[in-house]
Structure 1
Amino acid sequence: MHNLNFAYSFNVKKTTFFVFFLLLLLQSCSNKETIKYDIVISNINIIDLEDGSISKKTVCISGGKIVDLKVTDSLNDYISEKHMDGLGKFLLPGFWDNHIHLRGGDSLIEENKNLLPLFIANGITTVRDAGGDLTSEILRWRKEIKNNTIIGPTIYTSGPKLDGDQATWAGSLVVASQEDVTKALDSLEKIPSDFVKIYDSRISRENYLEVLKQAKERGLISSGHMPFTVELNEAVTSGIGAVEHLYYILKGCSSKEKEITQAIINKELSFWDSMDQLTTTYHDSTAQKTFQLLNNHNTYVVPTLHIGNVLSYLDEVDHTNDPYLDIIGKGIVKTYNGRIKRAISASPEARKSRKALNSFFKKLTKSLNNANVKLLAGSDSGAYNSYTYPGISLHKELEAMVAAGLDPLEALQTSSYNGSRYLQKDKEVGVIEVNKVADLVILNSNPLQEIKNTRDIYQVIKGNKIYDPKEIAKQYDCTECFTILP
Structure 2
Amino acid sequence: MNSFRKILGILAFILLFINQLQAQEKDDITAEVFVFKNVNVLPMDREEVLEDHHVIVENNRITRLGPSAEITIPQGAVEIEGRGRYLMPGLAEMHGHIPGEDQVQYAEDVLFLYIANGVTTVRNMLGTKFQLQLRERVRKGELPGPTIFAASPWLSQEAIPTPQAADNAVREYKSTGFDLLKIGSLEPETYKQMAATAHEIGMPFGGHIPEAVGLAGALEARQTSIDHYDRYVEFLVPEEAKQGRSNGFFGSGIIGLIDRERIPLAIEKTLEAGTWNVPTLSLIEHLANEEEAEEMIKRPEMKYMPKQVLDGWVKFKNDYVQRDDFQPDDTAKLVEFRRELTKKLHDAGANIVLGSDAPQFFNVPGFSIHHELEMMVNSGLSPYEVLVTGTKNAAEYFATPEEFGTIQPGRRADLILLNSNPIEDISNVKDRAGVMVRGEWYPEEKISEKLQEIEKRNRGN
CA offsets, 1:156-198, max 9 Å, x none? 1103121111xxxxxxxx1110111011112211221111110
Cα distance, 1:250–1:373 mapped onto 2, change above 3 Å: farther
Q: Which residues of 2 match residues 81-480 of structure 1 at below 5 A?
A: 81-103=77-99, 105-132=100-127, 135-165=128-158, 174-200=159-185, 203-252=186-235, 254=236, 256=238, 268=244, 270-272=246-248, 275-284=252-261, 286-313=262-289, 316-317=292-293, 318-347=295-324, 350-382=327-359, 385-477=360-452
**Residue of structure 2 in register with 1:5 after alignment:** none
Give 5+ residue unaligned stretches, structure 1: 1-35, 166-173, 482-486
TM-aligned CA distance change 1:469 to 1:311, over 3 Å: farther
Q: Output the CA distance in 1 between the equivalents of 2:163 and 2:323.
A: 38
Q: What SS does the aligned partner of 1:114 have?
A: helix
Could you state the TM-score of these two structures normalised by the residue count of structure 1? 0.81
For residue 131 of structure 1, report the CA deviation from its aligned partner. 0.7
Measured against aligned partners, the alpha-carbon deviations of 1:39-75 in whole angstroms (never above 9, x if no partner) come to: 1112211113232111132111111111112334468
Aligned partner of 1:465: which letter? E
- Once the two structures are TM-superposed, the CA of residue 282 in structure 1 deviates from its matched residue by 2.6
Query: In structure 2, how many angstroms separate the alpha carbons of the residues matched to 1:52 and 1:480?
Result: 37
Matched residue, 2:22: none
Aligned letter for 1:146?
A: R
- 2:72, 2:451 → 1: CA distance? 41
User: Which residue number corresponds to residue 12 of structure 1?
Assistant: none
SS of aligned partner of 2:148: strand
Structure 2: how far apart are the matches of 1:219 and 1:148?
28
Q: Which runs of 5+ in 2 are unaligned?
A: 1-30, 457-461
The question of 1:69 aligning with 2:65 is answered: yes
1:37–1:60 Cα contact (<8 Å) kept: no
Cα shift at 1:334: 3.8
Q: Given the alignment, which residue of 21, 31, 34 partners 1:39?
A: 34
- Once the two structures are TM-superposed, the CA of residue 206 in structure 1 deviates from its matched residue by 2.1
* CA–CA distance in structure 1, aligned partners of residues 146 and 87 of structure 2: 18
Q: 1:470 to 1:479 in 2, by over 3 A?
A: farther
Q: How many aligned residue pairs are there?
A: 423
Q: Pick closer, same or farther for the CA change 1:278–1:479 going to 2, 3 Å.
A: closer
Q: Letter of the aligned partner of 1:215 in structure 2?
A: A
Question: Is the CA contact (8 Å cut-off) linking 2:247 and 2:254 kept in structure 1?
Answer: no
1:469/1:120 CA distance change after superposition, 3 Å: farther
Quote how far apart the aligned CAs of 1:347 are.
4.7
Q: 3-state DSSP class of the match of 1:336?
A: helix
Give the conservation status (yes or no) of the 8 Å contact 2:255–2:330: no
* Mapped contact 2:65–2:71 kept (Cα < 8 A): no
Structure 1 residues 480 and 144 mapped into 2: Cα distance closer, same or farther (>3 Å)? closer
> Any idea what SS the aligned residue of 1:345 has?
coil
Please give the alpha-carbon distance, in whole angstroms, between the structure 2 residues aligned to 1:339 and 1:475.
30
Please state whether the residue corresponding to 1:79 is helix, strand or coil.
coil
1:30 alignment partner in structure 2: none
Cα RMSD for the two superposed structures: 2.6
Tell me which structure has the larger Cα radius of gyration: 1
Instruction: Give the letter for the 1:130 counterpart.
Output: M
Counterpart residue type for residue 126 of structure 1: T
Give secondary structure in 1 for the equivalent of 2:226.
strand
Kindly provide the amino acid, as one letter, of the partner of residue 307 in structure 1: L
Distance 1:245 1:185 in 2: 23
On the 8 A contact 2:37/2:68 being kept in 1, the answer is no
Q: Is the 8 A contact 2:377 2:386 kept in 1?
A: yes
